[in-house]
Copies of this chain bind each other. A is one copy, B any other.
Amino acid sequence: MSTLFQEFKEYLQKIQRLDHVCELLTWDMETTVPKEGFAAHADCNAYFATESFKLSTSKEMKEYLDALQSEEEMSKLDDAWKFIIKKMAKDYDKNSRIPVDFFEAITRERSDSFEAWQEAKQKDDFSIFAPHLEKMIEMSKTLYGYTDPDKNVYDAMLDTYEEGMDAATIGRLFQELKEGILPLLKKILSKEEPDTSKFQRKYNVDAQRHVQKLLLDYIGFNWERGAIGEAEHPFTMSFNSKDVRVTNHYYEDHPISSMFSAIHEGGHAIFDQNVNPAFDNTVAASCDFMGIHESQSRFYENILGRNIHFWMPIYEKVQEILPELSDVTLEEFHREINHIKNSFIRTEADEVTYCFHVILRYEIEQALFRDNLPVSELPALWNQKMEEYLQIVPETDRVGVLQDMHWSDGSFGYFPSYLLGSIYDGMLLEAIEADLGSVDELLENNHIDQITKWLNEKIHIYGNTRLPKETIREVCGREVTVEPLIKYFTEKYTKLYDL
């Protein structure tokens, strides 16, 4: 190891420690901090994030990166470090154009805006959130003006969350998907709805917490490297492969929500816990490609979790923990978790109508960033699109435009990742069955670990080092296509709804 490289690693360690405490402050702000303690946390977060930003965009950093990119130095590095240096040089190029003051200001506004969103959602009052949302939109435009001056803002946002998946491709895929599933959805909705009377009960929240643990155990969450918390909106956070945390939110009248959030976030966590540990605390670690990341969470949640065979080895245990389900047969439970219906909340939607929840948000983000829609018109546009796609209109913003946290911290362009994830999942299902045989049989025989192992080896271990398109090409042997997802939906629901 060269002296230069050694010094560089020490420099990175300083940045890494600053980032580590910012992660922890964020975790705590979303899970634990009391109302009056929030401001002190947010102040520390902005301070340390800015210190980290200064080190990441310093002249010293530039000198390190330039020197390490010399042919001589590069020849001494292994492949992981070659990737890391190149990726950091690319990040430096973008981020060093952001003024430090602006970076600090947007970091502070993110916390303020998140806090305002929490309050707005609790009080069901969009006006509390609106000024912060306006500011986040303006600041995000400014931010991308610095980092990607030659790109359309929304294109740059999409690229942030799924590098290399350009806006045109995403637009085309979503259009094909919409056309592919609309006829199916229409047929399903014309059939009689399953009986839901057994689900109109109160489900003990403590018991739901125990079910979450059972589900995380079952899918392979590693407790030596993982922890759990509770938050307004479920999310996963990773410090590195050795400390990956999931959160959940429990509703007394809707246990299926916390079960599927558990499986979804568990899928994210299994990804992060199984990244090559050699990448820990570098840009090669936790995967930045959110379509790929969501493909993992949604594979567990939908492809596995909404399959009756997934539940066969554990349903009796679930009933023991949650006796409110004791008169619900596995078949009835399976019908309910695949109950296709137009509903308000994205995170609780079935896997088919879910597509429209994302398309709606994607189109609204386009309206905000391409057509400069005023924030004041957002609730109306939301409701109009709900009417258009799902034929229902939320009575209040809490179950409408205020439901998701994503816009509160400026994560515009994230939502399409969910649907890209599902599109990839259709393809991954085919690839897994080609390699391992029937997923139904694997699940029924309690061999979910074989599926997890396959995902570990084919996807997780690579962390951030392979672009989404490359991953799909290498794992599935072809370019991204919606066809397998449509096929999966069609076969599954034709059978289930007797179409």
Q: Which residues of A contact B (CB under 8 A)?
A: 17, 20-21, 24-25, 27-28, 32-37, 39-41, 43-44, 47-48, 206, 209, 223-227, 229, 239-240, 242-243, 245, 281
Contacts and interface: CB of A to CB of B under 8 A. Distances in A.
17 contacts: A17-B44, A20-B40, A20-B44, A21-B25, A21-B44, A24-B25, A27-B28, A32-B229, A34-B224, A34-B225, A34-B242, A36-B225, A36-B243, A40-B239, A40-B242, A40-B243, A206-B206
B36 A21 contact: no
B17 A43 contact: yes
Contacts of A39: 242
Q: Which 3 A-B pairs have the closest CB atoms?
A: A37-B243, A206-B206, A36-B242
B240 A33 contact: no
A231 to B, nearest CB: 13
Contacts of A209: 206
Given A28-B28, A206-B206, A225 B21 contact: no
The interface residues of chain A, by DSSP majority, are classed as helix
A207 to B, nearest CB: 8
B243 A17 contact: no
Nearest to A206: B206
Contacts of A33: 227, 243
B20 A243 contact: no
A239 B223 CA distance: 28
Given A40-B243, A242-B40, A224 B21 contact: no
Contacts of A37: 225, 227, 239-240, 242-243
B17 A227 contact: no
Given A32-B245, A34-B243, A36-B225, 14 more contacts: A17-B44, A21-B21, A24-B25, A24-B41, A28-B28, A32-B229, A34-B223, A34-B227, A36-B224, A37-B239, A37-B243, A40-B239, A41-B243, A206-B206
Contacts of A206: 206, 209
A431 to B, nearest CB: 31
A240 B40 contact: yes
A387 to B, nearest CB: 39
A245 B28 CA distance: 12
Nearest to A51: B17
A214 to B, nearest CB: 15
Contacts of A43: 17
A317 to B, nearest CB: 17
A54 to B, nearest CB: 14
A466 B215 CA distance: 53
A224 B35 CA distance: 5
A382 B209 CA distance: 40
A225 B33 CA distance: 9
Contacts of A48: 17, 21
Contacts of A229: 32
Contacts of A243: 33-34, 36-37, 40-41
A179 to B, nearest CB: 45
A34 B246 CA distance: 12
A47 to B, nearest CB: 5
Contacts of A34: 223-227, 242-243
A62 to B, nearest CB: 24
Nearest to A47: B17
